[in-house]
Structure 1
Amino acid sequence: MTNSHANPLPSPTEDRRSGTPASLTRDQAIDEADHPLTPAQAFDALYAFCAPALVRQAYLLTGRHERARESVEQAFQLAWQRWPEVARDRDPAGWVRATAYDCALSPWHRFRRRGRTPDLPSDPADRALQRALMLLPPSYRRTLVLYDGVGLDLPETAAETEASTPAAANRLMHAREALAARLPELSEPAELHRRLVRLASTERLGAGEPEGVRTTGERRTRFWTRSAIAFTATIIGATTLTLRTAPTHYLPPVSPGHAVQGVPVQGMLGPLAPQAPKPRAELRKEAAGGPERLAPELE
């Protein structure tokens, strides 16, 4: 299966061998080689080149303006945090696109209170297409947007969706059949591509400034780093306190007391009988307070 779209959905196109945007001329490439960009400048250039198209693609995936912008900004914040890895990647635009798609289709969005209602376009035909797209499973929707919207070929689509080529082809065919069942006029791939481009282009979606994205990403990184340090310090402090206060040997528990039945009552001592002082007086008269004792004598 080949993709022969002549006008793909606005998307960053890059030279796969060098990672240089195809829009750069030879003189610009030579100038960049002589004067290398700083990491911030390279990031800003990548953001300006990719972000507008990625926001429109994320809108096709989510049907929500705010979530599309948030997904793209979050993807670029992750790219800035891992910029050495992204800068050395063969396809930096593809790295950011895959991350933005993951953020847009994250299952955690279902727990959000805001943005549950899709932002429907004003045109009835576009509204019907968006509703049909939202009824597709996320994996089918992603495959359809990449192949029929962005214009990637089938192996690239399979690689970006982390699926085998036959699995990606199966998802694409099922997605097309589901759309054609609801909208028969989209049975032709060329018409489907044209309608996807129109749906993404009619919505006025913009991305934030690259400097703001970098600043937000750095602030978020500092926050999570400090939180991790504070959490680690708390764990260490609690462990130290436990080691200092915990007993060093086993102390058997004291069994609770309970009443014993059947024991006779202890007798009480009463006053002496009248004849008792006489024997005691006789004993006190003896020499050592008792009867005579045998003592050894030297012969």
Structure 2
Amino acid sequence: MTRSTTDEAAAPQLPSPKERRRLREAKSLSEEQVAAAVGVTRATVRSWETGRTSPRGRKRALYAKLIAPEPEALATTTPAATTAPTPVPTAPESAPESAAEPTPVPSAEPTLNPAPEAFPEAAPEVKAMMMGVKEAATDADRDTDRDTDTDTEAEVETEAAGERRLSPAEAFDELYARTAPGLVRQAYLLTGRRALARESVERAFQLAWHRWPEVAVDRDPAGWVRAAAYEYAMSPWHRLRRAHRHPDAPPTEPGKQALFDALLDLPPAYRRTLLLYDGVGLDLPETAAETEASTPAAAGRLMTARAAVAERLPELASAATPAEQSALLHDRLGGLARAEHVPVPQPARAVRTGSEDRARLWTRAAVAGVALLIAVTGLTLHTAPTHYEPPISPAERVGGVPPRGGPQKLTVQDLKLQKTLREQLAHGPERLVPQLR
């Protein structure tokens, strides 16, 4: 065993990103306090809680010790307590993300049970299905995955029944068959575009198959794929594509059309929060973690989105309690998702093949780019001169040369005078010759 493998085995195991956030909030610790205690920035702590990165080394040990649950809490924790819904805000808020956001007021709202065909959740049977893949992980990862009672019961039932362990491809196909149709309907409610909804889900599952070792040991693989599909569907770059520039035609029924228009009029972050909480049935901390926002900010978004939708739906505005309003909105969202004819996603095998083809294509493109760069560099080194040779200027015809300087050509009169002077002797005094004394 190498040194790196030994260090990884000796490092403390961390819970899932959503559980990290829940444990921090249970201890009434803010992101700034955790960042100051560990010695990192607030953005790094948020990245740990969203699952994009994980701490390592000394910071991992400090972070694990900081968010570790109390022994009393571990002794008294029950499955019912871990799945209890988070209190829901009771009054709409105009400024959801302001600095003075109020803490949500508790209310006796029951846990929602969404329709499986419209809003699939990470049911225990899905987690039991993934146990065959989790066996390939390390012993430390398996111990971490058995911390929750749901996973432990599912593992015991699976081993007692003597079921065959699923291969990675079979587990992926099972997850795809259970969650893909419902995710396409959710993406349609999020974007209002049927083709984009199907493309988003297929791309999310291709990414999941590409990172299957990571997704297979996740506590909520369906949530992992859902978050990836939502991120792709809400990308602003789709506006540049002609096929996805405008939403599809709204439903013909007046009630569904009003809800459809109200959803599309909401900002993307508010629309996603409303869909996750009132549609999928996540609690408030899980909704906040998936939308990468604080719990008060998610509560404010939820209240503002409900108020905006209630202006379009009179029956929603007339609900007596927030629980009735949430249940009614959940039914309306499920009915709208099931009523529309969204395209059926491709078979799971086609998605896996597409993911492998895409990875193979990018690998070949990277290899070809590196080979082309090496070839161009070698050609440049071979053909480049080793010394400098000044260029020879090309010949040019010179024009506008000035006339020659000096005496000019003698005229006829000058020549005549010159001849006369040469032929006739000069008559004058003799030349004086100086003599010495």
The TM-score bracket by the shorter chain reads 0.7 to 0.9
Partner residue in 2 for 1:202: 339
What is the rounded CA distance, in whole Å, between the counterparts of 1:240 and 1:31 in structure 2? 64
Provide structure 2 residue ranges, at least 5 long, that are not aligned to the other structure: 1-86, 89-108, 130-149, 318-324, 407-437
2:220 pairs with 1:91: yes
What is the rounded CA distance, in whole Å, between the counterparts of 2:387 and 2:356 in structure 1? 49
- SS of residue in 2 equivalent to 1:7: coil
Instruction: State the shift of 1:118 in Å.
Output: 1.8
Q: Deviations along 1:78-122, whole A, 9 cap, x unmatched? A: 111111111121211111010011111111211111142324223
Larger Rg: 1
Partner residue in 2 for 1:175: 305
Partner residue in 2 for 1:243: 381
Which of residues 43, 52, 74 is equivalent to 2:172?
Answer: 43
What is the rounded CA distance, in whole Å, between the counterparts of 1:131 and 1:169 in structure 2? 22
Q: RMSD in angstroms over aligned alpha carbons?
A: 3.1
2:104 pairs with 1:4: no
Given that 2:266 and 2:305 are in contact with CA atoms closer than 8 Å, whether structure 1 keeps it comes out as yes
Partner residue in 2 for 1:154: 284
Note closer, same or farther for the CA distance 1:168–1:253 as it changes in structure 2 (3 Å cut). farther
Instruction: State the shift of 1:13 in Å.
Output: 2.4
TM-score (norm 2): 0.55
Q: Which is further off, 196-205 or 242-251?
A: 242-251
Partner residue in 1 for 2:80: none
What is the rounded CA distance, in whole Å, between the counterparts of 1:244 and 1:97 in structure 2? 53
Matched residue type, 1:46: L
Matched residue type, 2:225: V
Partner residue in 2 for 1:69: 198
TM-score (norm 1): 0.78
- What does 1:22-171 align with in structure 2 at a 5 Å threshold? 29-30=158-159, 35-115=164-244, 116-171=246-301
Q: Deviations along 1:24-59, whole A, 9 cap, x unmatched? A: 977862278753211110100110111121111111
Q: Which is further off, 204-213 or 247-256?
A: 247-256
Instruction: State the shift of 1:204 in Å.
Output: 3.4
- SS of residue in 1 equivalent to 2:128: coil
What is the rounded CA distance, in whole Å, between the counterparts of 1:266 and 1:38 in structure 2? 103
- SS of residue in 2 equivalent to 1:20: helix
Instruction: State the shift of 1:262 in Å.
Output: 10
Instruction: State the shift of 1:194 in Å.
Output: 1.4
Given that 1:148 and 1:193 are in contact with CA atoms closer than 8 Å, whether structure 2 keeps it comes out as yes
Partner residue in 2 for 1:219: 357
Instruction: State the shift of 1:61 in Å.
Output: 0.3
Partner residue in 2 for 1:191: 328
- SS of residue in 2 equivalent to 1:114: helix
Partner residue in 1 for 2:371: 233
Q: Deviations along 1:214-267, whole A, 9 cap, x unmatched? A: 1122222222221221122111211221222223345567789998x9999699
Instruction: State the shift of 1:123 in Å.
Output: 1.7
Given that 1:19 and 1:89 are in contact with CA atoms closer than 8 Å, whether structure 2 keeps it comes out as no
Instruction: State the shift of 1:75 in Å.
Output: 0.5
- SS of residue in 2 equivalent to 1:35: coil
Partner residue in 1 for 2:128: 20
Given that 2:204 and 2:225 are in contact with CA atoms closer than 8 Å, whether structure 1 keeps it comes out as yes
What is the rounded CA distance, in whole Å, between the counterparts of 1:60 and 1:199 in structure 2? 8
Given that 2:128 and 2:154 are in contact with CA atoms closer than 8 Å, whether structure 1 keeps it comes out as no
- What does 1:269-280 align with in structure 2 at a 5 Å threshold? none
Q: Deviations along 1:3-39, whole A, 9 cap, x unmatched? A: 63433252122459x94368x9778622787532111
Matched residue type, 2:122: T
RCO higher in 1 or 2 (8 Å CA, sep ≥ 6)?
A: 1
Matched residue type, 2:328: E
Note closer, same or farther for the CA distance 1:176–1:249 as it changes in structure 2 (3 Å cut). farther
Note closer, same or farther for the CA distance 1:233–1:265 as it changes in structure 2 (3 Å cut). farther
Note closer, same or farther for the CA distance 1:190–1:233 as it changes in structure 2 (3 Å cut). same
- SS of residue in 2 equivalent to 1:103: helix
* Identity among equivalent pairs (%): 56
